[in-house]
């Protein structure tokens, strides 16, 4: 303890920090804080734009759900491209160019906002929805891949819960900015696209600083990680889809990820549906019944609602991440942190099925999402610590994005069958989710067993060169 710096002693409040680890941990914390700050500045805009994406013959919940399905198809190509680029570029170049690409896209979307340089583009809400999924590959997922690659399993078990506090605090801060600036009409919501570029530029700089600091640690590392990936194979657009066939570990990780997002997206769609019905009723009560006034009322109401919703999700997630995640992982082990979300989801959807009204759905979804963004987020990143760099840069982005979006696709199918074929009530949709959660719990138990086996395969050896380690 006497060798710890002042910063490291402070970090001891949150996790088990050892001498020499504090500076890198703070830099990684700051980096993910900035990335999630940027993401939550622009995420509520997605809900507002999709709410007024008037596509003939489709209800708002269908537009949102089918956009998610289209996103999963797009990401099949995006993940394959990302895997290919990870073999061509070193990780600093990959991170820099991917982030700059997303920044340029944000500037383009700002110019295409309704009634700035152009009139209202009919499918802009759908296009933006698709793009935000790509953003999660190119910026958010790649940070956690970089993070898992920087740390060995032993260091990662201790440091990832603390770094994840940066993610939840950045998300909470971004949501609060949206609530304050947009909710009080201080600035138009589209201006957030410009503001969000600033933290992303700083993030690029911090990655470079961390890589320079950790170069010696990587050269002196005493362990390598077991690999199931053929590093001689050139990734293609299908690489992400077929990676799960490599090992039982990857298959179970993909199944758990898919079920997690299928359940969550079903809940999100039902929250969105209930909100739109509520806003329509409010507009009718206030005499706003048609035209641009109604669209503006729905868009602003949706954006403000989700700004507030994400704020509370991320505040609670921040508290869970700061004071529960590392302790739960330390004392309960990986099983506890992996399985806590499906247990909470089972409780939440049972209550929502019994009382399917907006207030109850909002509170239960806040509880579910806060646990997802904190405790479950930590489990997702700890999951990958025992595996090789090659598997991380090819397998992790594929599962964290493609199979997440395939969950969205199955949620879209649920909406199609539930609305068009079976005419399910909101309560019946929640019953479907309860069945899915039970399947999720079973798959989670099997994944825990495979993770335990994988952890025993980590072996002492001289580190091998990797194209992503430059």
Structural domains for the chain: 15-213+228-456 (1.20.1250.20)
Give yes or no for a contact between 113 and 190, defined as CB atoms under 8 angstroms apart: yes
* pLDDT over 70 percentage in the chain: 81
* pTM of the model as a whole: 0.67
- The per-residue pLDDT for 174 is 86
- Mean pLDDT taken over the chain: 79
pLDDT tens per residue across span 378-436: 888 788 877 766 666 667 767 776 787 778 778 888 988 988 888 888 889 999 999 99
pLDDT tens per residue across span 28-72: 999 999 999 999 888 877 777 776 666 666 776 777 777 777 777
pLDDT over 50 (residue 466):
no
**Range of weakest confidence among 107-121, 222-236, 418-432:** 222-236
């Amino acid at each position: 303890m006497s060798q710890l710096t002042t910063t490291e002693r402070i970090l001891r409040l949150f996790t088990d920090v050892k001498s020499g680890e504090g500076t890198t941990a703070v830099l990684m914390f700051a980096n993910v804080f900035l990335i999630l700050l940027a993401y939550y500045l622009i995420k509520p805009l997605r809900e507002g734009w999709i709410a007024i994406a008037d596509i003939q013959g489709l209800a708002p919940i269908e537009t949102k759900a089918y956009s998610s399905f289209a996103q999963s198809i797009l990401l099949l190509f995006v993940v394959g491209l990302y895997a290919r680029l990870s073999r061509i570029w070193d990780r600093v170049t990959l991170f820099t160019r991917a982030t700059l690409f997303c920044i340029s896209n944000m500037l383009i979307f700002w110019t295409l906002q309704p009634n700035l340089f152009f009139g209202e583009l009919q499918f802009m809400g759908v296009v933006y929805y698709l793009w935000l999924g790509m953003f999660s590959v190119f910026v958010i997922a790649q940070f956690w891949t970089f993070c898992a690659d920087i740390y060995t399993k032993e260091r990662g078990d201790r440091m990832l819960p603390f770094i994840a506090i940066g993610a939840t605090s950045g998300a909470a801060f971004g949501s609060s900015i949206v609530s304050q600036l947009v909710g009080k009409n201080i600035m138009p919501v589209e201006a957030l696209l410009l503001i969000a570029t600033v933290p992303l530029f700083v993030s690029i700089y911090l990655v470079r600083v961390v890589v320079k600091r950790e170069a010696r640690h990587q050269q002196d590392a005493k362990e390598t990680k077991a690999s199931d990936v053929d590093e001689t194979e050139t990734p293609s657009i299908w690489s992400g889809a077929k990676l799960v066939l490599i090992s039982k570990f990857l298959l179970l990780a993909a199944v758990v990820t898919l079920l997690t997002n299928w359940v969550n997206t079903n809940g999100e769609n039902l929250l969105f549906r209930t909100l739109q019905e509520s806003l329509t009723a409010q507009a009718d009560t206030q005499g706003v019944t048609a035209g641009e006034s109604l669209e503006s009322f729905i868009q602003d109401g949706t954006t403000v609602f989700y700004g507030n919703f994400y704020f509370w999700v991320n505040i609670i997630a921040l508290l869970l991440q700061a004071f529960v995640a590392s302790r739960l992982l330390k004392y309960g082990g990986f099983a506890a942190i992996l399985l806590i979300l499906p247990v909470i989801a089972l409780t939440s959807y049972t209550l929502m099925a019994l009382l399917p009204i907006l207030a109850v759905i909002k509170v239960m979804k806040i509880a579910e999402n806060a646990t997802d963004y904190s405790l479950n987020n930590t489990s997702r990143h700890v999951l990958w610590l025992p595996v090789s760099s090659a598997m991380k840069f090819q397998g992790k982005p594929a599962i964290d994005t493609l199979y997440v979006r395939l969950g969205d696709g199955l949620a879209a199918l649920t909406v199609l069958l539930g609305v068009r074929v079976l005419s399910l009530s909101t309560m019946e949709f929640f019953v479907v989710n309860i069945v899915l959660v039970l399947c999720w719990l079973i798959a989670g138990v099997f994944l825990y067993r495979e993770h335990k086996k994988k952890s025993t395969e980590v072996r002492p050896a001289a580190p091998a060169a990797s194209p992503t380690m430059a």
